[in-house]
Amino acid sequence: MKNKSSSESTPRDTGRIRSLVPADRFPIEAMVVSSGKFSEVEIATAMELVDEALESGEESGYIFAVLETAIPNTKVRGYACYGPVPLTESAYDLYWIVVDPASQGSGFGQRLLQYVEQDVRSRGGGMILIETSSQESYGATIRFYERSGYNLAARIRNFYKIGDDKLVFQKELS
């Protein structure tokens, strides 16, 4: 008798993506904090966007996509925050995309990004811009964007602080 591997015996939960609800606030904050990548000011900013979206919905200018899994129990595994760039015809900014550190490498980030791209297209968007830091600690993030078809469109030297450039990635949606 052949032994089943754990991947054969346990169904893989790719999760479902849904809109933001008030109960998401705590798990989102926990994810942003536990990532270890963000300063206290950045964490506060992320939570301000959550609060604005919870209060005003899409009128806030922020759209949230929350990825949750059901196996073994329902849990928020990641989220993305994006929105239209004011004064442009079809450009969108991806403000935040965060996956729970314990769930990284599961494809959830790629799934969220693909969802965002599809949603932006359905809203008439033609371009997504993503800003990030050039710090070495963001190396995996930069590689993730590049593997996902985003090109480095701009580099602003010493933007965040001396030695920390602002990188702007761009993808034209077809």
37-66: pLDDT as tens digits: 889 999 999 999 999 999 999 999 999 999
Q: Which domains does the chain have, with CATH numbers?
A: 9-125 (3.40.630.30)
> Average pLDDT, whole number, for the chain?
91
CB 90 within 8 A of CB 117: no
121-146: pLDDT as tens digits: 999 999 999 999 999 989 999 999 99
The encoded tokens of residue 145 equal: 């964007």
